[in-house]
Structure 1
Amino acid sequence: MTAISNQHARQVEQLYLENHSWLSMFIQKRLGCPEDTADMIHDTYMRIMVSGRLPEKQESRRFLTHIAKGLLVDKFRRKQLEKAYQEYLQDLPESHAPSAEQHAQMIESLVELDAMLHRLPAKVREALLLRQLDNLSYKEIAQRMNISVSSVEKYIAKGLQACLEAAFEDRV
């Protein structure tokens, strides 16, 4: 994390003081849980602190709304992934159940994979998932997506490249 200037910290504090109540109501209306709302407000301002960017005064609420909505989407996606993983685990024999640490690591990996996939263009993501999850041939994917086989090849190559970059990103 980079050092944050005193001036930037004071500006974020002012943004917080001016908008905390409003942001709290905005998030509370969507989450319904005071503890989750407090965490989301904290995460919103942490994103601002880390990014180093601040909105113009007249754009403050729009800026905060944009960040908070992104965090809400992330939270919703994470809950969906956790639910799907829990359903998968229910079908496993107890002897194959992961430890709490393995469970947490798997959830984090799934969240990272989901985020990486959602950064891909829609057609690249679709082609990659049809190939990797549905095990369709390039020809079948081309037919399903109504595109050429060469486009499928390009999309899958682009998707696999993104996966490779994501896998080695943390190792550099």
Structure 2
Amino acid sequence: MHAPAPDLSRHEATETLYVQHHRWLANWLRRRMHGDDQAADLAQDTFLKLLDARETPTLREPRAFLATIARRVLANHYRRQAIEEAYLDSLASQPDLHAPSPETRALVLEALCQIDQALDGLPAPVRRAFLLAQLEGLGYAEIACQLGVTTRTVGNYMARAAAQCFFALEA
């Protein structure tokens, strides 16, 4: 028996999209990033997302499809950039004695981005409660006060956020 070849056709379809639309997509991203040189990298990331997909749909409007994926890639890029800036600002306020090594900084930044991605699907109050507890060290009563909910609700929020993080790590 021959092994099915859907992966090959999917790769061929992605290659065709790449050849026909990569330059357009990189320019599209460059305009949205105000000429940032990282636009080419994000265009590559967009096509990598296509390769990671289970299937490549038949497209009537390939540029609209690519732009939709690229918007998500761009949003993730800006989110990661904001996380990195916040982390570096936090490090800048620490004494030099407590400065982590470059390797540790990279690992912490990656972990922060993974947590952010895991929390992304949660409603804003759940995410905020989790971050107030984890980053600011607030207790349930203080969080409940800030969010205008009961401490029981905060407990539910925390359980939901923790489960979300756990299942994201499992995936």
Alpha-carbon displacement from aligned partner over 1:93-135 (angstroms, at most 9, x marks no partner):
2222211211111111111111112122223212223333444
- Within a 5 Å distance, the mapping from 1:44-55 to structure 2 comes to 44-55=46-57
Counterpart residue identity of residue 151, structure 1:
T
Counterpart residue identity of residue 126, structure 1:
R
Alignment correspondent of 1:109: 111
Counterpart residue identity of residue 85, structure 2:
K
Alignment correspondent of 1:10: 12
Are positions 1:72 and 2:74 aligned together?
yes
- Within a 5 Å distance, the mapping from 1:31-42 to structure 2 comes to 31=33, 32-34=35-37, 36-42=38-44
Are positions 1:82 and 2:84 aligned together?
yes
Alignment correspondent of 2:30: 28
Alignment TM-score, normalising by the size of structure 1: 0.81
- 8 Å Cα contact 1:55/1:63 also seen in 2: no
- The runs of at least 4 aligned residues of structure 1 exceeding 6 Å deviation read none
Counterpart residue identity of residue 162, structure 2:
L
- 8 Å Cα contact 1:12/1:45 also seen in 2: yes
- 8 Å Cα contact 2:59/2:65 also seen in 1: no
* CA–CA separation in structure 2 for the residues paired with 1:12 and 1:99: 40
Alignment correspondent of 1:119: 121
Gaps of 5+ in 2: none
Superposed displacement of residue 137, structure 1: 4.5
User: CA, structure 1 residues 125+21, in 2 after alignment: closer, same or farther (shift >3 Å)?
Assistant: same
Superposed displacement of residue 21, structure 1: 2.7
Superposed displacement of residue 13, structure 1: 1.3
User: CA, structure 1 residues 91+143, in 2 after alignment: closer, same or farther (shift >3 Å)?
Assistant: closer
Alignment correspondent of 1:96: 98
Alignment correspondent of 2:158: 156
Could you tell which deviates more after superposition, 114-123 or 70-79?
114-123
* CA–CA separation in structure 1 for the residues paired with 2:98 and 2:137: 26
Counterpart residue identity of residue 62, structure 1:
A
Alpha-carbon displacement from aligned partner over 1:6-58 (angstroms, at most 9, x marks no partner):
21111111112222232122111022123x12211111111101113323322
* CA–CA separation in structure 1 for the residues paired with 2:78 and 2:91: 20
RMSD across aligned C-alpha pairs, in angstroms? Answer: 2.4
Alignment TM-score, normalising by the size of structure 2: 0.82
* CA–CA separation in structure 2 for the residues paired with 1:130 and 1:103: 22
* CA–CA separation in structure 2 for the residues paired with 1:158 and 1:85: 25
